[in-house]
């Protein structure tokens, strides 16, 4: 897995997950997963993750980002709200949200990046993370600062070591971090937030919440629009404006995520899984799954998510000493 930024005016690079920016020209940062069973997770410092982790221009992601800020001054803008750095802080940025750093000096801490596919063991965390994304910036009181720092350090250590079973440990530690963060009060912004969020942003958030349920993966675009009380065309315009993606793309992503979870965590047959994610024809489901992931449902289940290569981002991989 590696990171890439698609800037305004750039076309499709041919790599999985890459493509043009949204219609608004917003730069879009994606995590590339070149192999079917690559780990959709990374953690590192601002320096090892790369320059996009401290970008001063507005951009959006197709993945989740959690930032543990332990040092620095300046501000962080998420959507239309500016937050002042007052380390230690935790910041949660959901897919599709726009953010950037503003007049920052001495920024220190760790950055955690992962896609919805990484939440196979705890699918409910998708709801919690999008709720945290709406609050975005959290202060860490004294009683929470040290445990949070240890938890983030443990995540980093497990990721770097890559020992047997590290994926399960990473998922468990991330789950604990999300649950504990959801208990914390939100940080007050340095400027008042808008009186209310725009309807497009609200519709996009409602769609993401809807698709975060197992039942949501079975819905069509039209069914989602009816559930949200909007037209199909308005749903498309609102979601594209807020996330840079189409409702169809988000539904396909939700179906793949739920199918992966069922393949790895249940004994259901491929036919049963196909029905649960909205496919009446198992053969068509298999073609869909292979097109979206690069592997068949059976091979994905047999592989069990094992990693057979260096799971770390190239920019994070430790430098080997020269001979």
Tell me the pLDDT band of 173, cut-offs 50, 70 and 90: very high
Nearest-angstrom CA–CA distance, 42 and 307: 14
Flag whether 309 is in a domain.
Answer: no
Check residue 206 and give its pLDDT: 80
Rounded mean pLDDT, 283-300: 92
Residue with tokens 């959690």: 66
Residues 23 and 98 in one domain: yes
The domain of 294 spans 199-303
Flag whether 262 is in a domain.
Answer: yes
Check residue 112 and give its pLDDT: 96
Residues 117 and 227 in one domain: no
Flag whether 308 is in a domain.
Answer: no
Residues 13 and 105 in one domain: yes
| pLDDT tens, position by position, 293-319 | 889 999 988 876 543 344 554 443 333
Flag whether 318 is in a domain.
Answer: no
Q: Beta-carbon neighbour count of residue 111 at 10 Å?
A: 24
Rounded mean pLDDT, 239-268: 85
Sequence-ordered alpha helix ranges (H) in the chain:
46-49, 125-135, 142-161, 166-182, 199-211, 221-228, 232-243, 247-265, 270-276, 282-293, 297-303
Last residue of a domain, one of 139, 156, 182: 182
Rounded mean pLDDT, 125-152: 91
Give the least confident one: 92-101, 173-182, 225-234, 300-309: 300-309
pLDDT higher than threshold 80 for residue 198 = no
pLDDT higher than threshold 80 for residue 79 = no
Residues 221 and 100 in one domain: no
Check residue 279 and give its pLDDT: 92
CATH number at residue 143: 2.60.120.280
Q: Which residue has the higher pLDDT, 313 or 291?
A: 291
Check residue 314 and give its pLDDT: 46
Check residue 39 and give its pLDDT: 80
Tell me the pLDDT band of 97, cut-offs 50, 70 and 90: confident
Residues 10 and 90 in one domain: yes
Check residue 204 and give its pLDDT: 79
Give the least confident one: 85-94, 198-207, 259-268: 198-207
Tell me the pLDDT band of 188, cut-offs 50, 70 and 90: low
Using the 8-state DSSP alphabet, how is residue 275 labeled?
H
Residue with tokens 């053969």: 283
Check residue 308 and give its pLDDT: 39
Residues 127 and 176 in one domain: yes
Helices (H) and strands (E) in the chain, counts: 11, 9
Q: How many domains does the chain have?
A: 2
Specify the long-range contacts of residues 236-241, CB closer than 8 Å, at least 24 apart: 237/200, 238/199, 238/200, 238/201, 238/203, 238/204, 239/200, 239/203, 239/204, 239/207, 240/22, 240/23, 241/22, 241/23, 241/24, 241/200, 241/204
Flag whether 317 is in a domain.
Answer: no
């Amino acid at each position: 897995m590696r990171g890439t930024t698609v800037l305004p005016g750039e076309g499709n690079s041919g790599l999985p997950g890459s493509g043009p920016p949204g219609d608004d020209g917003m730069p879009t940062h994606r995590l590339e997963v070149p192999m079917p069973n690559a780990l959709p997770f990374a953690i590192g410092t601002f320096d090892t993750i790369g320059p996009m982790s401290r970008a001063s221009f507005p951009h959006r992601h197709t993945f989740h980002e959690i930032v543990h800020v332990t040092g620095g001054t300046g501000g962080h803008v998420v959507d239309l709200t500016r937050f002042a750095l007052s380390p230690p802080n935790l910041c949660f940025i959901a897919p599709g949200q726009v953010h950037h750093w503003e007049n920052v000096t001495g920024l220190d801490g760790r950055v955690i990046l992962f896609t919805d596919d990484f939440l196979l063991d705890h699918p409910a965390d998708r709801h919690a993370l999008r709720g945290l994304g709406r609050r975005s910036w959290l202060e860490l009181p004294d009683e929470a600062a040290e445990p949070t720092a240890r938890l983030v350090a443990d995540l980093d250590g497990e990721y770097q070591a890559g020992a047997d079973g590290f994926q399960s440990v990473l998922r468990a530690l991330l789950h604990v971090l999300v649950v504990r963060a959801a208990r914390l009060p939100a940080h007050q912004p340095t400027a008042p937030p808008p009186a209310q969020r725009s309807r497009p942003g609200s519709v996009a958030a409602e769609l993401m919440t809807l698709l975060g349920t197992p039942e949501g993966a079975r819905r069509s675009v039209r069914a989602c629009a009816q559930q949200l009380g909007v037209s199909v065309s308005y749903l498309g315009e609102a979601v594209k404006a807020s996330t840079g993606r189409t409702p169809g793309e988000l539904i396909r992503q939700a179906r793949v995520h739920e199918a992966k979870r069922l393949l790895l965590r249940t004994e259901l047959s491929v036919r049963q899984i196909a029905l649960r994610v909205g496919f009446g024809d198992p053969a068509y489901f298999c073609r869909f799954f292979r097109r979206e992931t690069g592997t068949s449902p059976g091979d994905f289940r047999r592989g069990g998510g094992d990693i057979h290569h260096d799971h770390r981002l190239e920019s994070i991989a430790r430098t080997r000493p020269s001979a």
